[in-house]
Amino acid sequence: MKRRIAYVPGTSFIHRLHPLVKVAWLTGLTVLVFLVTRSWIVLGVVALSLGLLGVSRVSLKGRRGTRVLLITAFMLGALQLAFRQGGTTVLQAGPLTITGEGVEAALYVAGRFMSVVLLSYVFVFTTEPGDLAYALMRAGLPYRYGFALVTALRLVPIFEAEAETVYEAQLARGIGHDVRSPRRVLGWVRQLVMPVLSSALGKVDTLAVSMEGRGFGRYPHRTFLRKTQFGWLDATSLAALAVLLIGTMLLS
pLDDT digits (tens, 9 = 90+) for 94-152: 666 677 788 888 889 999 999 999 999 999 889 888 888 888 888 887 877 777 777 77
Structural domain total, the chain: 2
Based on the domain organization, do 173 and 104 belong to the same domain? no
Q: Which tens digits make up the pLDDT trace of 196-212?
A: 788 778 887 888 888 77
Mean pLDDT, the chain, whole residue set: 81
On the question of pLDDT at 231 being above 80, the answer is yes
Based on the domain organization, do 104 and 194 belong to the same domain? no
Based on the domain organization, do 41 and 119 belong to the same domain? yes
Could you give the CA distance from residue 121 to residue 56 in angstroms, rounded to a whole number? Answer: 11
Based on the domain organization, do 167 and 98 belong to the same domain? no
What pLDDT is stored for residue 181 in this prediction?
60
On the question of pLDDT at 76 being above 80, the answer is yes
What pLDDT is stored for residue 199 in this prediction?
79
On the question of pLDDT at 189 being above 80, the answer is no
The domain in which residue 171 lies consists of: 147-213
On the question of pLDDT at 239 being above 90, the answer is yes
Based on the domain organization, do 208 and 234 belong to the same domain? no
What pLDDT is stored for residue 46 in this prediction?
92
Based on the domain organization, do 18 and 122 belong to the same domain? yes
Candidates 8, 43, 40, 14; CA nearest to 241 is 14
Based on the domain organization, do 75 and 164 belong to the same domain? no
Threshold 0.85, pTM exceeds: no
Based on the domain organization, do 247 and 175 belong to the same domain? no
Does the CA dihedral 158-160-163-168 come out positive or negative? negative
Confidence bin at 77 (pLDDT 50/70/90): confident
Q: DSSP string spanning 30-58?
A: HHHHHH---HHHHHHHHHHHHHHHHHTT-
> In the chain, what percentage of residues exceed pLDDT 70?
86
Based on the domain organization, do 50 and 76 belong to the same domain? yes
Residue 140 lies in a domain: no
Residue 136 lies in a domain: no
Residue 132 lies in a domain: no
3-state secondary structure 180-231: CCHHHHHHHHHHHHHHHHHHHHHHHHHHHHHHHHCCCCCCCCCCCCCCCCCC
Could you give the CA distance from residue 198 to residue 96 in angstroms, rounded to a whole number? Answer: 54
Q: What is the mean pLDDT of residues 229-238?
A: 87
Residue 244 lies in a domain: yes
Residue 66 lies in a domain: yes
Confidence bin at 22 (pLDDT 50/70/90): very high
Half-sphere exposure of 159 (CA within 13 A, CB side): 19
Residue 62 lies in a domain: yes
